[in-house]
Amino acid sequence: MDKAPINWTNTVLFTTTPVFAITLVPLYGYFYGYDLYEWIVFILLMAFCGMSITGGYHRLWSHKTYRAHPSLRFIFAIGGACAVQNDILHWVSDHRRHHRYVDNNDRDPYSAGKGFWFSHIGWILRDYKSATNDFSNVKDLREDPIVCWQHTHYLKLVLITNIGVPAFLGYLHGDIIACLLLGGLLRLVLSQHATYLINSLAHMWGQQTYSDSSSARDNSWLALITYGEGYHNYHHTFQWDYRNGVKWWHYDPTKWMIRLCSLVGLTQDLKRSTLAQIEEAKLEMQYRIATERCELLNIPENWRLCLKQEYEQFLETLQLWTDHRQAWYEAKGKKIQRSLEHWDQLQVRDKYKEVQYSLKIQRRRWQKILRNLGEPFPNPA
Ligand SMILES: [Zn+2]
Ligand SMILES: [Zn+2]
């Protein structure tokens, strides 16, 4: 058994705050009650901390999925300190190692291979070797003055944002204790555990839609309480993408925030995976599961061959669709000077539409095959 020494600062912080939260918050509520203002303070500070971690610490600083204006980086740095999840340098260093050595119990700081408790919070309570930082993987961040400033003043920022800000908001409204309990204590505990669920539950519960090379899962329920980070299988497969919920209907407020900020120039250079890359990864996973299912069900050889052909044909159509799509976008961007060119342009468009239709039919056929092989398949939609 790992006998790493106990980290007393973290142990005291992470045991006393939840105990106080589940006792003091309801007790105060029972005797004095909370009003709408105090609940609004709670919700706003929850979102402020949560989105600073997901949008700032995670998608901006850890993965560089976009670039952000200094004013936004400053807000994220303050919100990250408010969330008390360590400073940017530590958090990012841990997270980059998590991606690099995912599920490796000796090198992934919060490896899910060591169980729910360890990956959720256990890794913080003791000084494990796997969580030792030398910051060699965050050299790029040392060039960001906001990151360095937050690193130097981290403790002061933690105290100001967790005690000073809620107390001041309470003073303005006439009840300092209520705001400290909801906006300070309860918000702190809930926002920390929401993030930790990504390291624990999002590596255990859900679907491996795009890859099974790591334990990461897609889980739309978790996305609801983690500002969109529940689509963790997608994230581990395409970590350069600023989105975690890749479909437009996926609940991913962090993605919407980053996109909205880009409209006013606060964020730039938003990176995305291509539709073909995403579909190809999903297809490969489905094909792998389908072949395993064939083994299990003793499906005749000629049928397996059909499956293989169908898979290869799907890949070909996907490639064809990518090429024609590219050609159509290029043709669309060209300035038309003669009517003959317009005719050419229409031809490119028609060809693209034709291939798009073939892809649609191909997709339907593939879904039918998967259905015949029985459920469940990851993300058949
Ligand atoms: Zn990540
Ligand atoms: Zn992960």
Residue 227: domain span: 8-268
What are the start-end ranges of the E strands in the chain? 67-68, 267-268
Query: Which ligand is located closest to the Cα atom of residue 92?
Result: 1
Residue 377 covered by a domain: no
**Domain end residue (candidates: 243, 268, 293):** 268
Residue 2 covered by a domain: no
Who contacts 251 (Cβ-Cβ below 8 Å, separation ≥6)?
220, 223, 224, 228, 245
Tell me the C-alpha distance between 232 and 222, whole Å.
9
Residue 3 covered by a domain: no
Same domain, residue pair 264 and 279? no
Same domain, residue pair 222 and 254? yes
181 CA to middle of ligand 1, Å? Answer: 31
117 CA to middle of ligand 1, Å? Answer: 20
99 CA to middle of ligand 2, Å? Answer: 7
**Are residues 157 and 78 in contact, defined by beta-carbon separation less than 8 angstroms?**
yes
168 CA to middle of ligand 2, Å? Answer: 36
CA–CA distance from 22 to each of 52, 81, 89, 185 (Å)?
25, 23, 31, 10
Q: What is the dihedral of CA 300, 212, 378, 227, to 10 degrees?
A: 180
Residue 328 covered by a domain: yes
pLDDT for 380 beyond 60: no
Same domain, residue pair 307 and 215? no
Same domain, residue pair 221 and 325? no
Same domain, residue pair 261 and 201? yes
Residue 343 pLDDT: 79
372 CA to middle of ligand 1, Å? Answer: 36
249 CA to middle of ligand 1, Å? Answer: 21
Using the structure block, give the residue that is written with the tokens 């539950």.
Answer: 201
**Domain end residue (candidates: 268, 296, 314):** 268
206 CA to middle of ligand 2, Å? Answer: 13
Which tens digit of pLDDT belongs to each residue from 255-278?
999 999 999 999 999 999 998 899
15 CA to middle of ligand 2, Å? Answer: 24
Same domain, residue pair 245 and 281? no
Residue 372 pLDDT: 81
59 CA to middle of ligand 1, Å? Answer: 7
353 CA to middle of ligand 2, Å? Answer: 38
50 CA to middle of ligand 1, Å? Answer: 15
Same domain, residue pair 167 and 124? yes
Q: State the Cα angle at 106 between 101 and 108, rounded to 5°.
A: 35
Query: Which ligand is located closest to the Cα atom of residue 218?
Result: 2
pLDDT category, 3, cuts 50, 70, 90? confident
pLDDT for 1 beyond 60: no
**Are residues 191 and 42 in contact, defined by beta-carbon separation less than 8 angstroms?**
no
* Mean confidence (pLDDT) of the chain: 92
140 CA to middle of ligand 2, Å? Answer: 22
pLDDT for 338 beyond 70: no
pLDDT average, residue stretch 43-71: 97
Same domain, residue pair 335 and 362? yes
**Domain end residue (candidates: 268, 287, 312):** 268
pLDDT for 341 beyond 80: no
183 CA to middle of ligand 2, Å? Answer: 28
pLDDT category, 2, cuts 50, 70, 90? low
pTM above 0.95, yes or no: no
209 CA to middle of ligand 1, Å? Answer: 17
131 CA to middle of ligand 2, Å? Answer: 15
Same domain, residue pair 191 and 284? no
Same domain, residue pair 358 and 260? no
Tell me the C-alpha distance between 313 and 265, whole Å.
42
pLDDT for 290 beyond 70: yes
Which tens digit of pLDDT belongs to each residue from 34-46?
999 999 999 999 9
238 CA to middle of ligand 1, Å? Answer: 9
Q: Considering its fold, how many domains does the chain have in total?
A: 2
pLDDT for 303 beyond 50: yes
Residue 260 pLDDT: 97
Same domain, residue pair 303 and 230? no
264 CA to middle of ligand 2, Å? Answer: 31
Same domain, residue pair 301 and 328? yes
Residue 380 covered by a domain: no
Residue 147, both tokens: 């990151």
Report how far apart the first and last C-alpha atoms of the chain are (Å, whole number): 44
